[in-house]
Structure 1
Amino acid sequence: MASSSSLYLLVALLALASWQAIAFDPSPLQDFCVADMKSPVRVNGFPCKNPMEVNPDDFFNAAKFDMPRNTMNKVGSNVTNLNVLNFPGLNTLGISLARIDYAPLGVNPPHIHPRATELLTVLEGTLYVGFVTSNPNRLFSKVVHKGDTFVFPKAMIHFQMNLDHNKPAVAQSSLNSQNPGVITIASAVFGSKPPISDDVLTKAFQVEKKVIDWLKSQFWESNY
């Protein structure tokens, strides 16, 4: 009986290890797999372009990450993503990049990346950053300065805010997925199409319906 229990435990541990191994973007099985964005094939990711048609431009993107972005929106920030959707050469490589511009006191609102851990580096300015863990909901936050880095674990709610009242700030994020995805909490909850039921939201947030109606009436502008 003891031997049987030990075998069961070993199998369970191996299954868990295997699940963890495939919980991230898969490792490439060839030198490259430039995404064929015109292919009608639908897979978890993107099919490969014919390698004989691949050229150096497939591994280049002129995103001009050194150029400031427009932050004239309600939250005062602008995120410029560089992922497989606009850089097909990243397909199967498990990486992407983002530039984040902040107006004075601008905020990158609480959001999650369901498929990636994010490593943020401050290029200019001073930011207040943080993330919230799953139950119990513990906040890890810090004020970071030019040259500092901060990591947001995969799928944790996180945010950044420029603390300067007068000067803009800039950060760059590296993410370990070719297509990290983003869910901005407020716009997802109050601006989804079709909308989440008022009954659900009033109960969940313990507020009157008029508060939910007001929140739903706001224009949930995207900074992406």
Structure 2
Amino acid sequence: MNSVFHFSQRFTTVVPESCMLILLGLVLGGVVLLANKKQLYQLEPALFFLFLLPTIVGDAGYFMPARLFFDNLGAILLYAVVGTLWNAFCTGFCLYAAKLLGVIDERVEAGLMDFLLFGALISAVDPVAVLAVFEEVHVNDTLFIIVFGESLVNDAVTVVLYKVYISFVEVGVENVQTVDYFKGVGTLVGLVFAVLLSFITRFTKKVRIIEPLFVFLLVYLAYLTAELFSLSAILS
């Protein structure tokens, strides 16, 4: 095992870790496909959004350097929120303009909401390789937290945009009501549960062992509560 570990360290200096994970996933997927001619399991969107995504975002938020994050919150929100919205809207409106000008084939049956949905899908960036390089060369902490915080928050923004636009496409633009435009707001739900968690942990100083249970439980409850009221669970 020790030799494998050192070999992997030398290998990752040449091939990025994200590429290794993709190749490993392809190999394992091919092995499973060859072993089972019939697909026995399929990942459903509901399973991903209700069970896998909360753990991923919760892990990233829990181990994030909070002091650096909040000290640079303005720059992070500027890049993550304003920048992501700019990318999404520009992509969607430019494609819609190209459709109106006849650049896109008329056989493509897509409206404004469809193009905005596509813009939301491709607007976020995932700088996994960049963050790995930053850790390797030990860049300035401020630069690292801005890139890391932007990559964390812009995922939340794009998930919100995607869920809002996909619901608009499903119900039809003509059936969208004014209240539907505010369903992407879930931050207030998260703040309520954060205050509740802070209040509860005041009384657990003598039983620290149960504090992680309350942390994971209330974070997941905040996510489910936002989902229950059709709000943004990822932001909460």
Quickly name the TM-score band, shorter chain normalised. Answer: under 0.3
Between Structure 1 and Structure 2, the one with more helix by share is: 2
Between Structure 1 and Structure 2, the one with more strand by share is: 1
Normalised by the length of structure 1, the TM-score is 0.27
Normalised by the length of structure 2, the TM-score is 0.26
